[in-house]
Structure 1
Amino acid sequence: MSQRILNHPSMEKRTGVGDSLQRFKDSATNRLTKVRSWMRTVLFQWGLFIYLVGFLLGRAMILSEMLPFVVPFFAVIWMTKREHAKLAFIALILGTMSVNLSVAWFTVSALLVYALIQRTSELVLKKNTKAVFIHVFLSVWAVRFGYLTATEGMVSEYTWMISTAEASLSAVVTMIFFQSIPLLMERKRQRSYRNEEIICLMIFLASIMIGTIGWVVYGMAVESILARYVLLLAAFVGGAAIGSTVGVVTGLILSLANVASLYQMSLLAFSGLLGGLLREGKKMGVGVGLLIGTVLISMYGDSQTLVMTSIYETLVAISLFLLTPKSFIEHLSRYVPGTVEHSQEQQQYMRKVRDITAQKVEQFSDLFHTLSESFTAMEKPKKTDFDTKDMDVFLSRVTEHTCQTCFKKEKCWANKFEETYQYMEDLMQECQDEGGVRQGRLYHDFSNHCVKPDKVIQAIKDELKSYEASQQLQNQLTESRRLVADQLRGVSQVMDDFAKEIQREKTTHQKQEEQIGEAIADAGVDIDQVEIYQLDAGNIDIEITLPKNDLNESEKIVAPLLSSILEETIVVKHTEPSASPYGHDRVSFGSAKQFVVKTGVANAAKGGGWVSGDSYSTLPINAGKYALAISDGMGNGERAHIESSETLQLLRNVLQSGIEETVAIKSINSVLSLRSEDEIFSTLDLTMIDLQDASAKFLKVGSTPSFIKRGKQVKMVESSNLPIGMLHEFDVDVVNEQLKAGDLLILMSDGVYEGPKHIENDEVWMKRIIQELKTEDPQEVADVIMERVIRERGGHIVDDMTVMVAKVDHNLPKWASIPTPQYAIAK
């Protein structure tokens, strides 16, 4: 039925129309991209932008005689775009000539003097950007001072003041242009503009607007229209703060060029503020804000004609603003901090960085996995017996030293090959099984067959020893390859998990944050901010900023409220107090585990000494697990303590890295066995408890049994591995047990487990001690067992002794949840 529908003519027609529309969109997008690329080439690579800006800045005059923008623009182009310096020179001269021919020589002279000073400086000091401001100051001051002196025929205070003022202003403008011009001309990585850069950019644009002074269209000043258009863009993109700032800067620059335009600063600043406040009304709201500001400020004028002209200029600017493409405004918004487009751009950039990082980590994970597979492929199964090929090689080596030099070689191996081969195989088998050839029937029969039986038997023994040594070395190599493969596989898994963790995005939970904030506020707790990082069941992560909670409101009120809202037990994970007594604390809340573990330890050194060869550790693992470990170093004293403590330190670091427990123990064993040639061994008793379901893994390496006490029942957990570091390779026995709330888990070293000499069965003896316990407190249990064992031995501590007791219980919150059904939210 579905196939008939898809094959229907109407569906085919619709599909064809859809494909045509998609092709049209793709074609239009490609054409638009080409047009943008062509425009950028014409403006920046061919220099049209420099020509237009240079022409307008050449026209920009302050107080009808000062030209503070000419030399700075030329200096910046000289330092950043040297290939367009000649074009900028011509454009500035043409701009000055379009305003006043009598002062055009000033532009020519100032530019030539600057070029001479800059060129001379570069020959001496290389290319020094810091000296450009000094060069601009000197060239403008010298030319202006010479012009005024020649015009007035003398040197006056006015000459000094004007020359110094124009030169100083030119040096400052140079600094501003160095900040703003590269923002427009250089195509760097997308980034946000700082407030200083935005202000410098607006000063640059306002300076260009000064160049349009005197241009009038139907009685309306072009500079006023442009200033209000730029103000509308700034207010719409950046809001009231950016809008008012741009209004003040633009109005100030325009008023410097024409004192009559001083009111422009008030008009633009007030209009930028209103437009930014009304930007929630989109473009029309910002336009209404500008219109209101124009009307209010213009009413202070005396001429009704000027009021209407100002309103017309505003209406034209609003019209241009409404016609501005949305794509241009969105592109502009990406550079302004605080905008949605800027946030999206930053998120996109961070996502790109995150994906690249995750990709690199995944590549390393694949590399380690491939290496692991290559080591696994190199493994060869252990040989338990000779095969035909091995037998032939073995016998060839034996006969090389015996039969090859015997005069009866032809008789034995040519005429009686089968019989001789069988004798040699039987002799080799007996040597392998018994360590030699007994004076039995096989020996007598072979003696009758061979003239040198003892020499042959000795050669078989020697070759058999070499073969066994070679075979043992080969097996060790195979085991080492397997260990390396396991370790590489473990590292690969850790890196793969890390890559997945990197790729997890922080989901926005704005609605949930508002609901949580309202619920806490209704409960009477003042909070400043709620940030939700994760809402996954069992792994909730929330951070709340609230005032100093001297009464522990975060635990008594906020956590119970969150427990009710999220329908899961929430506890305080961490509190970051404020340094100021009137500041705010940052409190981190997270999901509570289903079970908790309470521990107790009793420890004693041999003979009552200060240093015990036993070491113990409790370690919460990031994956919601809890580790208990005891290590017993060989012997007693400081050396044994160092060995056992280093074993636990290695274990702690490897487990926290995320590597699986079995691989971690094998890796530690490999390190300890290869680290020193001394026979230094240590046992390891490791228990991993999952705090979500109370399942436990027991990993024992040469350690004594552990015990689980549930009520009156006592269960023993044991394995039969050799101590860690004794062999290069071994298999770790993993025993899985399901614990329940109220269970006592008891780990101990051999100094505690091994009873007095009159005790025949240590297991029964220790079970009886545990069954007779009257307390369930972990610390009391550890102390009672230690005291009982020492008393049974007549008060003597004959070996290092360590008892570690852990009690598993349900995690009961300290405070009950506060019902807030109206605020229940979905995770």
Structure 2
Amino acid sequence: MIDRKVETNMSGQAVTSVSTLRSTFLSPKVTSTKAAYSKWRGLMLIIAVGFLLGRAVILLQLLPFTIPFLAVVFKWKRSWSLPAAFALIAGSTTLSFTYAGHTTVAVLFYFILQAILQRFDKKEKFFPIAVFTSVVITRVLGLTFTDGFLYYHLLTALVEGGLALIITLIFMQSIPFFLERRRQVTLKPEEVVCLVILLGSLLTGTVGWMIYDLSIEHIFAQYIVLIFAFIGGATIGATTGVIMGLILSLANITHLFSMSLLAFAGLLGGLLREGRKISVAGGLVVASLLMAMYTDNQAPLQVTLYESLLAVSLFFLTPKSWTNRLASYIPGTVEHAQEQQLYLRKIRDLTAGKVEQFSELFLSLSKSFSFTEKMNEPIESQKEVDIFLSGVTEKTCQICVKKKQCWTKDFQKTYGYMESLMEACNTEGEIKDQTLLTNWKNHCFIDRKVISTIEEQLKNREVEVRLKRQLEESRKLVADQLIGVSQVMGDFARDIQREKEVHDKQEEEVKESLLKLGIDVDLVEIYGLDPGNVDLEMVIPSNKYNEAEKVIAPLLSTILNESIVLKHEEDLRSPNGETRVIFGSTNAFILEQGAAHTAKGGKWISGDSFSTMPLGDGKYAMAISDGMGNGKRAHLESEETIGLLKRILQSGIAEKVAIKSINSVLSLRSNEEMFATLDLAVIDLQEGSAKFLKVGSPPSFIKRGSQILSIESSNLPIGMIKDVDVDVVSEQLKAGDLLIMMSDGIYEAPTRVENTDMLMKRIIRDLQTNDPQEISDLLIEQIIRESDGDIHDDMTVLVVRVDHYSPKWATISSLA
């Protein structure tokens, strides 16, 4: 049986993990075979690496690679430490029995010291100390046994121990990467150097191996330099060449020439990497010829050339998948950037998927909350009548002595009387039919108790119906909110999945246009060209004289046919003093606003509240709320209405949903009659259109020259009824329009005027100013004068003027 572990996501759907899928589609036999093959391959690599490092001798007699390799294998995979030790000894045996004996003693000393340290160091933090100590003791004992004790021998042992200590730290970074699949997709520069040092150490083990007078270590050293130069460019190639040449020269002083050759080949091949493999190989051949012809090289020109050609042949035979895989680990390469982009895309898609799941979850929950049972307030169906009367009889007739006579002999008559009594109480509230009362009194022994029980049961049912209504309203509120949240999260998921579009043509056009004006732009990156949402970044030589704002922004406005402004600038820390600037769209319209308000009777606290707020995406909202009555309570009511509206709108939820949600909150939170009007205007600053949502509020006015437009609706105040129906009135605004919103304290103040709408239009038309703040002040002053100097109610005026956006610097009309 295959154990299938199932995870559950937030939406309740079952999701099978990757490991579960693997175990599901691969049989246990196949899985165990692959695991055995992977283990066997790793063990063979350990043995091969150990064999080569066992042969690695530097400075004629030092073996600093053996014990560090053993220590790293012991810490990394302890079960392979014995095969690694035997491989090291086998490699040393190919040199001489003296080296084999030295390696054997060093291995034994390390195992003994590691066993001792494990008693005190459970986490094996100080295992390099065992490496240093075992190497020093072995070298001192070996030299003392052959030549006697000398302080020079002690110094040599300390040098070898220090090298072993450093190499241990290097191998800790490189061997796990070399022998296992790395999850990390980025190598630090230090880790790249450690990997190259490990490869150079392995090549040291091939010193002395020849094929027809051709040196194996030279061929593979040049091959490795070609690979890294092709992958990482001149910097990585030159660094690899220097490290390879240095390690080989430590193994054999006659290879000192190799350092210059490999470094030059890595530099030249890296500089030519844009020409792909053939140009990198050509760089190595040219470097080999130049170094062989113009330096004192101990190897003949023909041998050096043959070694380079063999290295080039191996380089061309290397599969592209291998180089791409290695390149994906090295920062700065195209493959690494693609790997990072792929990883980011996976994370982005995963995040978007989770957000979409939440969106679907909230939508499903909203449908669930939207389902409500049909409640019939009057008792109509026969089944409901039977249930109701059974409840009445249970409390009355069950304990009556005439129960059998009434419900056995006179069942139809008794049931008819009680049904008539129930209908009379349900429709009229009491029984006014005296004939029915007389007949029931003559028929029933406990007539008054039955009537009172019916009245009591009807009152209980009325309370139950009211509670069910409130529950239904709460469910509607939750459903509306969940739908709004679902829409917002769905939009957010689509924004996450939106990738950067390629705008090469537009980027070149911008560069050429700026070059004609004498501005040499180093970099242009266009991230978006959607109308009203242009996002562009560039690097310019300097912005000392505000060229970005004065010249580049107007030029971009002409090219893109949209108002572009400088959003941000940042000085780059470069020798040339370059500046990074970011440009973006600005709104086609701007608003200038003014507001004035006063409390009833000139008091400090007004029952009106107002707010103006940007909503994002070029939209701007203005709202006035008037709480019922005056004073602190009304102020709190209107202030909370405005606060709720502001938070809901800024979250991205639609205006109608926001108002319905606020209405449900205000109508459900208290049994008291607390109402509030709401006057909301949402202006699109890109198109100049406006949407008006009025709930119990007076008309708003638009002044366009001498023309006065009235915007009104007939909705009741928020909280007055359970299910408010919000009408949306749309209007196209023009540059120079004045939008005037007011509370009912201003609109209803003139009590001696029959047509208040005409009066307000006349007052607004007679205003001789276009300044929004002056209009707000003058309106309140004029209304107070019309009311004989009295302030009968809280007054609030909110005025905005709509104008075209005009940049500070004129747009360049010609690109010539």
Q: Describe the SS at the equivalent of 1:540.
A: strand
Letter in 1 for 2:186: S
CA distance in 1, matches of 2:377, 2:548: 66
Q: Which amino acid aligns with 2:189?
A: N
> Which residue is 2:538 aligned to?
544
- Which residue matches 2:774? 780
Residue deviations 1:496-531, cap 9 Å, x none?
222222111222334433332332233233544322
- Name the counterpart of 1:148: 143
Consecutive unaligned residues in structure 2, runs of 5 or more: 1-25
CA offset at residue 793 of structure 1?
3.1
- Aligned partner of 2:307 in structure 1 is 313
2:344 to 340, 344, 350: 350
Q: Are 1:127 and 2:120 matched, yes or no? A: no
Asked if 1:51 corresponds to 2:44, the answer is: no
Residue 712 of structure 1: which of 702, 707, 713 is its match? 707
SS at match of 2:300: helix
> Structure 2 matches for 1:624-663, cutoff 5 A?
624-634=618-628, 636=630, 640-663=634-657
Return the alpha-carbon distance in structure 2 between the equivalents of residues 583 and 417 of structure 1: 104
SS of equivalent to 1:569: coil
- SS of 1:299's equivalent in the other structure is helix
Question: 1:219 deviation in Å?
Answer: 0.9
Match of 1:96 in 2: 92
1:157-172 → structure 2 map (5 Å cutoff): 158-172=152-166
Match runs of 1:437-476 below 5 Å: 437-438=431-432, 454-476=448-470
Q: Compute the displacement of 1:780 (Å).
A: 2.7
Q: Tell me the residue number matched to 2:250.
A: 256
Instruction: Check whether the contact 1:570–1:589 (CA below 8 A) recurs between aligned residues.
Output: no
Q: Give the one of 504, 512, 525 matched to 1:518.
A: 512
In the alignment, the residues of structure 2 paired with residue 382 and residue 244 of structure 1 have an alpha-carbon distance, to the nearest angstrom, of 87
Is this contact kept in 1: 2:702–2:740, CA < 8 A? yes
The separation in 2 between residues aligned to 1:453 and 1:480, in whole angstroms, is 41
Cα 1:213–1:579 change in 2 (3 A) is closer
Is contact 2:516-2:815 (8 Å) kept?
A: no
Structure 2 residue aligned with 1:622 = 616
Matching residue's letter, 2:625? S
5+ residue gaps, structure 1, are 1-29, 823-827
3-state SS of 2:123 partner: coil
Shift of 1:594: 4.4
Q: 2:717 matched to which residue of 1?
A: 722
Residues 606-653 of structure 1 deviation map (CA, whole Å, 9 limit, x = unaligned): 454555443322222223322111233455556654554443333222
2:740 to 713, 726, 746: 746
Tell me if the contact between 2:536 and 2:583 (Cα under 8 Å) persists in the aligned partners.
yes
- SS at the partner of 1:149? helix
Q: State the distance in 2 between where 1:515 and 1:715 align.
A: 48
1:299 aligns with 2:288: no
Counterpart of 1:109 in structure 2 is 105
Matched, 1:575 2:557: no
Give the equivalent residue in structure 2 for 1:86.
Answer: 82
How many Å separate the matches in 2 of 1:437 and 1:389? Answer: 23
Q: Which moved more, 1:224-233 or 1:661-670?
A: 661-670
Distance 1:514 1:276 in 2: 28
Question: 1:703, 1:723 within 8 Å by CA — same for their partners in 2?
Answer: no
Equivalent in 528, 536, 556 of residue 534 of structure 1: 528
- Conserved in 2, the CA contact under 8 Å of 1:375 and 1:484? yes
Question: CA contact under 8 A between 2:701 and 2:708: conserved in structure 1?
Answer: no
Which shows bigger deviation, 617-626 or 579-588?
579-588
Distance 1:141 1:304, change over 3 A: closer
C-alpha distance in 1 between matches for 2:56 and 2:63: 7
Distance in 2, Cα, partners of 1:302 & 1:155:
38
Answer yes or no: is the 8 Å Cα contact 1:203–1:250 preserved in 2: yes
Q: Which moved more, 1:272-281 or 1:762-771?
A: 762-771
Partner residue, 2:133: 138
Partner of 2:387: 393
Matches of 1:621 and 1:256 in 2, distance apart?
Answer: 69
Q: CA deviation at 1:39?
A: 12
Task: Note the C-alpha offset of 1:290.
Answer: 0.8
2:606–2:631 CA contact under 8 A, matched in 1: yes
- Percentage of identical aligned residues: 51
Counterpart of 1:6 in structure 2 is none
Structure 1 residues 648, 587: CA separation in 2 closer, same or farther (over 3 Å shift)? farther
Aligned partners of 1:279, 1:358: CA distance in 2, in Å?
38
Q: Alpha-carbon deviations, 1:248-280, whole Å to 9, x = none?
A: 111111111122211211111111111111112
Report SS of the residue matched to 1:543: strand
Q: Provide the rounded CA distance (Å) in 2 between the counterparts of 1:422 and 1:767.
A: 66
Partner of 1:241: 235
Could you say if the C-alpha distance between residues 785 and 441 of structure 1 is closer, same or farther in structure 2, counting changes exceeding 3 Å? farther
Amino acid at match of 1:631: S
Given that 1:717 and 1:735 are in contact with CA atoms closer than 8 Å, whether structure 2 keeps it comes out as: no
2:63 pairs with one of 67, 86, 90: 67
In structure 2, distance between residues paired with 1:606 and 1:579: 58
In the TM superposition, residue 60 of structure 1 has moved relative to its aligned partner by 0.8
Bigger mean CA deviation after superposition, 771-780 or 378-387 = 378-387
Equivalent-residue separation in structure 2 for 1:108 and 1:511 (angstroms) = 68
On the 8 A contact 2:219/2:311 being kept in 1, the answer is: yes
Please state how far the C-alpha of 1:585 moved relative to its aligned partner: 5.0
Q: Which has the higher mean CA deviation after the structures are superposed, 579-588 or 67-76?
A: 579-588
TM-score normalised by length of structure 2: 0.88
Q: What is the CA–CA distance in structure 1 between the aligned matches of 2:145 and 2:493, rounded to whole Å?
A: 75
**8 Å CA contact 2:698, 2:712 repeated in 1:** no
Deviation at residue 802 of structure 1 after TM alignment: 1.7
Give distance in 2, aligned partners of 1:444 and 1:776. Answer: 79
Spell out, residue by residue over 1:306-329, the C-alpha distance to the aligned partner (whole angstroms, 9 max, x if none): 222212111111111112222222
With normalisation by structure 1, the TM-score equals: 0.87
SS in 2 for 1:380: coil
CA contact (8 A) 1:603 1:801 kept: yes
Distance 1:334 1:580, change over 3 A: closer
Residues 583-622 of structure 1, C-alpha deviations (whole Å, 9 max, x = no match): 6554433334444443221133445455544332222222
The two structures, once aligned, show a CA RMSD in angstroms of 3.2
State the Cα distance separating 1:356 from its structure 2 match.
Answer: 1.4
The farther-off stretch of 758-767 and 471-480 is 758-767
Q: Give the Cα–Cα distance (whole angstroms) in 1 for the partners of residues 550 and 36 of structure 2.
A: 62
Contact map agreement 2:743 2:795 (CA 8 A) in 1? yes
